[in-house]
Structure 1
Amino acid sequence: MGLKGLNLFTSSRTKQTCTYKCGNACFGACANESDNEYFGDISRRSALKAGAVTVLAVGGASALAACSPSDQKDSGSTGSSSSSSAKNAPAKSLEGMQFKSVQPNTETDVKVAEGYEHSVLIAWGDPVIEGAPEFDIDNQTPEAAEKQFGFNCDFAGLLDHPEDKKRMVYVCSHEYTTEPNMFKGYDAENPTEDQFKIGLAAHGHTILEVSKVDGSGELKREFGKLNRRITATTPFTVAGPAAGSDLLKTEKDPEGKTVLGTLNNCSGGITPWGTMLSGEENFDQYFGNADKLADEDAKKKLKRFGIKGEATERKWERFDDRFDVSKTPNEPNRFGWLVEIDPTDPTSTPIKHTAVGRYKHEAGNIHITKDGTVVCYSGDDERNDYLYKFVSTRKFKEGDMENNLKILDEGTLYVAKFEGNSPKDEIDGSGNLPKDGAFDGKGEWIKLLTAKEDGSAESHVDGMKADEVAVWTRIAADKKGATKMDRPEDVEVSHKTGLVYVALTNNKYRGAVEDGKNYPGVEEVAPVKENKNGLVLEMDDDHAGEKFTWNLLLVCGDPKEAYTYFGGFDKTKVSPISCPDNIAFDTHGNLWISTDGNALKTNDGLYACAVDGDNRGELKCFLTVPKGAETCGPIVTDERVLVNVQHPGEGDDASADKPAMHWPDGGNAVPRPAVVVVWPKKGKVGVEA
């Protein structure tokens, strides 16, 4: 490929994982070919205007008087305790983080902190619906797969059971399938129709009743009336400004309001009204033959969403015309949405919310402001794409599900534009902090689309109609000059402070050169050349408004390396971390970070990070997952921690015939994606007993 640079292709992700998970989206030219400014361009301009804005560095964060948020506590807590030199580590970790760190490893099992136990709740192929057969890799059928736990579990949520206090409801998404690891004798050039149908069934979601184990935080799977599988053939209702649009109509759905299935569901969120949000992420890889289209403009738009045009890896288009773009050109437009599912009503029809925009959704997390305004944050997980939020005009009403299911259909969709506040020559790629002591700045939210209560919608993008903005959201954001980011993934709001945290997984091409093409250079938001280990961004957002300030909480990597940054905390006292992906908060307000694609050549894991006070930036590894696996969907409560272990044992030479490991069943079994529950032997999670 003619690449120059030392850090490229160092992720622990294998070629097999990259092929089936995201269609190799992290390699080569990205889908965003717009000429939008990068942070460096903005930083240079803002440096020239330095006299026009008063910026106060408060212990490693910016406090910009011109854009203080209206519904935040007056705490100055964005970066409130970091400094240009590492602090001495406090004698004791905060509550929630009082455990001995798990050391980096390459084991083929789950490793948890001392004093904790763990078990597997459910794994790929286990029965979800009563009467489904037990998993048997040699006897898979589409009918069985529709009633069994799907493949590659990602997002996880845990809700109170509506009727039984001894039970809870576990929900998760099934992001993608890796057919070579699912079927013995799999021929990638000639998949069978049954393999295609099993693949459809292994996508989607699982709703599962689980029982509490007396005297511990362990959970056990149960058969219950709420148990449900949602697959790539389950009907979904389309809501919002793109519902009924010509861009969504197909021969089998001439009204453009009903879509069969959901694909590549990555992270999500649990709403205050008790539903599950799930982002359709790398949907592009399921659609083939776009090159056969005669419409060049249509091909250009498809390319902006990653659809390259040739045959797909799975070759589903051989069995169903909806995956053949040359025959059903609008079908890709019916994916890439934020979907909503009511886990407490097994007869309900899931919804695709088009007012929230269409892109490679990673997550969808809700924050309600003091005045009751509902805000939904979501990232577009691809190099050089954007961060979004949706501000609803419909208020949350406790117990009114009919009202609450319309919250994401009425309001305004925004995309983020950032400014760094340091001169360009202070951001040199080394990771050294600029003179103001922090990687930080300010930003604004730019309007793209407003959906109204009467069903009408207004575009805020010249030359695009409202339904076009909803369907071609990336293109709309390009036109409005949004800031290109390094894979914005999960977005979470602290229940303690209201601060917003964004996992920016990596961008190995930052500052690289490929066959004479220069990729974007280092910027204040991406201050390390060839950003292989990722960042965690902290924002003090005026949630319902249009202004925010930001800083980098973490510049990830090996703390022994000079470029890493841990909120100003003593780097000799933290765990190495690489490729932050999903994030969550515990009851104490600590941020928990799961990783995907560890570039440090050790296993991925789950980490706890202090975000405030003298411990700000302290980072400790709580658990690691087996080699080749990704840590997904963390749930952290006082009683237990749950993680989804995705693609264990995936490797370039691995297959169902020659498995690379045998977790979780042992013996000669194939590895299976699974859900792991961890609980303390005594006391509460992260609190010394």
Structure 2
Amino acid sequence: MRKPLPLLTSHPTGRSAMTCRYRCGDACFHEVPNTSSNEYAGDVIARALSRRSVLRAGAVVGVAAAAGTGLAGPGAESASAAVPAGKGPKPGRPHGRAAKGLRFEPVAPNTADKVTVPKGYEQNIVIRWGEPILRGAPDFDPERQSAKAQAGQFGYNNDFLTLLPLSSRHRGHGADQLLVANHEYTDEVLMFAGYDPEKPTREQVEIAWAAHGLSVVAVSGERRTGALRAVPRHPLNRRVTATTPFELTGPAAGSPLLRTKADPRGRRVLGTLNNCSGGTTPWGTVLSGEENFNQYFANAEKVTDPERAATLKRYGVTGGASERRWEEFDERFDLTEEPNEVHRFGWVVELDPYDPDSTPRKHTALGRFKHEAAQPRLSRDGHAVVYMGDDERFDYFYKFVSKKTMRRGHSAADRRHNLSLLDEGTLYVAKLTGESPAEEIDGTGTLPEDGEFDGTGRWIPLASGDRSYVEGMTAEEVYVFTRMAADKAGATKMDRPEDIEPSPRTGRVYVALTNNTDRGKEGKPGADEANPRHGNKHGQVLEFAERGNDPRARSFSWRLFLVCGDPEDPGTYFGGFPKDQVSPISCPDNVTFDDFGNLWLSTDGNKLGSHDGLFGVATAGSRRGEVRQFLTVPTGAETCGPLVQDRRVLVAVQHPGEVDGASVEQPASSWPDGPGSYVRPAVVAVWPKDGSDVGR
């Protein structure tokens, strides 16, 4: 019998209250922004028809579309062309060893204040907050930190990670790869001794501006191990901060909704905020999602115009003074002074890491919401398709399909062309229909009679170029107020869709749905087949397959791959794999794949009493659904940005020591440098001691 670990916090998300305060502005303690009345298509159909007879007739998608808004758009398909649900691989009886790539001794759940790795593995710190990466930047000295110093140093709270190859002309100083990391947010209480949240100083605020954004850092791998080390002051090293100039591109660029006193043309923005996860494009750039941008803007309560107040509320922009009080030092964060500045955040950002002088872009064609990530893939004919999640309770997941196709050449003209791929295309939102009768989805997580949570789905078009498919909204309004457009379109309300990535082996797409403790509460949406538990504190992972395995398709089949939580809970599910043989997992967040097609999941807010961790899951064969824990992170930390290479695994250890009541003077963690030192977010590499490949 597994003994539960003591709970670390009573917070409903599993995080500390401090994390919620600084990371997302206490989003889970505020009213759910999505108060739209759009219904789950399965509920509508259940009241009108026998679901099973509809499915036997092969018309479920047509019925689902009829139950929605009836919006027409490009590439519409007939109902009879729908992909049958539940036709993916199923596990047989488990036999033999774990799947290739997952052959390590699983780490047990624990609360150790360190990065705990499997037996036979070693680790090193690749780079910490404050380490210098640009020429002229000083070594980290927290007692003498300045905004100028921080602008040349690795930023705070690293999240998304990617490693890119370096050409021979860029391999100076022993560097062989280029690391790009996001910096989501700052926790000033853990950054500054004696910090007074009611009276921050200008220097503290400007340091925080410089600690946000992204870092580009050349790295060098050791030949005999999997260790990875930063190469400071490399010519490609770069910092992007909250004051770096960005270009607004795409169909909403220049819109009156994006114009400010400082930028009357609506095409140039200073900075990027709350960068969560991201993606790497086939043309060699990096995408980054601006997530909880709402918390940085002040005085929403003073907005008297009803329409404007409604748009702010839908994006979670509420209250008076902001947590960090940036509005006292720059009026663009004061909604009474700059009403449109808030519209200039919440986008997908694209950065060219190979050109340190390039201007990064914010892509309006991909819509504005709380972007968790943006992972592109190419269709067979070269169109770029980007999957995106809106990390909020009862919000939606989306995709974008480019109008133009990628060029394979390497000329300057080819690169300019590819950098424009995300400027024009069609933006869609997902609507899901369940395969089981509504009465079989009782909110407990008990599997329906057919043995799976599964169904079909449709991509509803919202806008394409300057054309809107949403009644009563212009195309510019769709892009700037995408959440409201998706409400009108009748999209399916999900349990916090976060990272979304397609498998490079199968093309199947995996959606991390982190949790939603409001599911089933009075006045809130109840359980449906895609979100089958009331008070969902552990989350699930949805797997879907586009029709014909074509990412441009307008329909898909889906199933829940994992329903997370304690394996001894009957309301959990692990791809059909025996539940007594898996590692317990809670609150999936970032996802990635290894070369064998295994899905790797990092967690955020584990509600099972253990520290957050990284888990590998087989997606095919007789071991499909077997979850194996690879590592755990220190006290108060979240596991982010997983990256799995042949010889090493990288994770971003974000907000270590972020425990209620902690401060510089009273730290809750001594990671990574031991007692007496500042707690510092950092990137960690892990590898097998014997020089073999990971999980072999």
Q: Distance in 1 between matches of 2:660 and 2:81?
A: 50
Counterpart code for 1:497: T
Q: Distance in 1 between matches of 2:99 and 2:514?
A: 26
Partner residue of 1:439 out of 453, 457, 481: 453
Counterpart code for 1:17: T
Q: Distance in 2 between matches of 1:624 and 1:137?
A: 27
Q: Distance in 2 between matches of 1:267 and 1:67?
A: 34
Matched, 1:199 2:208: yes
What per-residue deviation string (whole Å, max 9, x for no partner) do you get for residues 527-582 of structure 1?
12211000000001131021001000000001111111000001111000000000
Q: Distance in 2 between matches of 1:286 and 1:487?
A: 21
What per-residue deviation string (whole Å, max 9, x for no partner) do you get for residues 505-531 of structure 1?
00011123xxxx432222111212211
Q: Size of the alignment, in residue pairs?
A: 657
What per-residue deviation string (whole Å, max 9, x for no partner) do you get for residues 107-138 of structure 1?
00000111111000111111111221111111
How big is the shift at 1:612? 1.0
Matched, 1:169 2:178: yes
Instruction: Tell me the residue number matched to 2:132.
Output: 127
Normalising by structure 1, we get a TM-score of 0.93
Q: Check conservation: 1:11, 1:600, Cα contact below 8 A.
A: no
Counterpart code for 2:394: N
Instruction: Tell me the residue number matched to 1:668.
Output: 676
Matched, 1:402 2:419: no
Instruction: Tell me the residue number matched to 1:539.
Output: 544
Partner residue of 2:356 out of 346, 354, 369: 346
What per-residue deviation string (whole Å, max 9, x for no partner) do you get for residues 35-67 of structure 1?
0113662463486343233289xxxxxxx9944
SS class of match (2:149): helix
Q: Distance in 1 between matches of 2:486 and 2:524?
A: 20
**Amino-acid identity (%):** 53
Instruction: Tell me the residue number matched to 1:262.
Output: 272
Instruction: Tell me the residue number matched to 2:594.
Output: 586
Counterpart code for 1:194: E
Partner residue of 1:450 out of 459, 464, 467: 464
Instruction: Tell me the residue number matched to 1:252.
Output: 262
Distance 1:685 1:36, change over 3 A: farther
Q: Distance in 2 between matches of 1:438 and 1:79?
A: 12
Partner residue of 2:308 out of 280, 285, 298: 298
How big is the shift at 1:686? 3.5
How big is the shift at 1:436? 1.1
Give runs of aligned pairs for residues 473-484 of structure 1, distance below 5 A.
473-484=482-493
Distance 1:221 1:686, change over 3 A: closer
Could you tell me which runs of 5 or more consecutive residues in structure 1 were left unpaired when the two chains were aligned. 1-6, 57-63, 452-456
Instruction: Tell me the residue number matched to 1:422.
Output: 436
Matched, 1:501 2:503: no
Q: Check conservation: 1:9, 1:508, Cα contact below 8 A.
A: no
Give runs of aligned pairs for residues 28-43 of structure 1, distance below 5 A.
28-38=30-40, 41-42=43-44
Give runs of aligned pairs for residues 278-677 of structure 1, distance below 5 A.
278-398=288-408, 399=410, 400-451=414-465, 457-512=466-521, 517-542=522-547, 543-677=551-685
Q: Check conservation: 1:8, 1:532, Cα contact below 8 A.
A: no
Q: Distance in 2 between matches of 1:10 and 1:331?
A: 32
What per-residue deviation string (whole Å, max 9, x for no partner) do you get for residues 187-216 of structure 1?
011111111101100100000000121112
Distance 1:685 1:535, change over 3 A: farther
Moved over 6 A (4+): none
Counterpart code for 2:396: Y
Distance 1:37 1:200, change over 3 A: same
Distance 1:427 1:253, change over 3 A: same
Instruction: Tell me the residue number matched to 1:3.
Output: none
Distance 1:43 1:29, change over 3 A: farther
How big is the shift at 1:8? 7.9
**Which is richer in helix?**
2
Q: Check conservation: 2:211, 2:241, Cα contact below 8 A.
A: yes
SS class of match (1:253): coil
Q: Distance in 2 between matches of 1:48 and 1:124?
A: 58
How big is the shift at 1:144? 0.4
Q: Check conservation: 2:156, 2:185, Cα contact below 8 A.
A: yes
Counterpart code for 1:631: T
Counterpart code for 2:133: V
Partner residue of 2:193 out of 181, 184, 194: 184
Matched, 1:139 2:153: no
Q: Check conservation: 2:86, 2:559, Cα contact below 8 A.
A: no
Q: Check conservation: 2:183, 2:274, Cα contact below 8 A.
A: yes
Distance 1:47 1:631, change over 3 A: farther
Q: Distance in 2 between matches of 1:43 and 1:133?
A: 63
SS class of match (2:476): helix
Q: Check conservation: 2:647, 2:694, Cα contact below 8 A.
A: no
Distance 1:371 1:18, change over 3 A: same
Q: Distance in 1 between matches of 2:366 and 2:678?
A: 39
How big is the shift at 1:493? 0.3
RMSD across aligned positions (CA): 1.8
Q: Check conservation: 1:47, 1:423, Cα contact below 8 A.
A: no
Q: Check conservation: 1:661, 1:670, Cα contact below 8 A.
A: no
Q: Check conservation: 2:117, 2:631, Cα contact below 8 A.
A: yes
Instruction: Tell me the residue number matched to 1:678.
Output: 686
Q: Check conservation: 1:43, 1:423, Cα contact below 8 A.
A: no
Q: Distance in 2 between matches of 1:477 and 1:117?
A: 46
Matched, 1:151 2:156: yes
Q: Distance in 2 between matches of 1:679 and 1:381?
A: 32
SS class of match (1:614): coil
Distance 1:353 1:65, change over 3 A: closer
Q: Check conservation: 2:95, 2:622, Cα contact below 8 A.
A: yes
Distance 1:145 1:462, change over 3 A: same
Q: Check conservation: 1:373, 1:391, Cα contact below 8 A.
A: yes
Distance 1:459 1:684, change over 3 A: farther
Q: Check conservation: 1:173, 1:266, Cα contact below 8 A.
A: yes
SS class of match (2:380): coil
How big is the shift at 1:437? 1.1
How big is the shift at 1:89? 3.0
Could you tell me which runs of 5 or more consecutive residues in structure 2 were left unpaired when the two chains were aligned. 1-8, 59-77
Instruction: Tell me the residue number matched to 2:240.
Output: 230
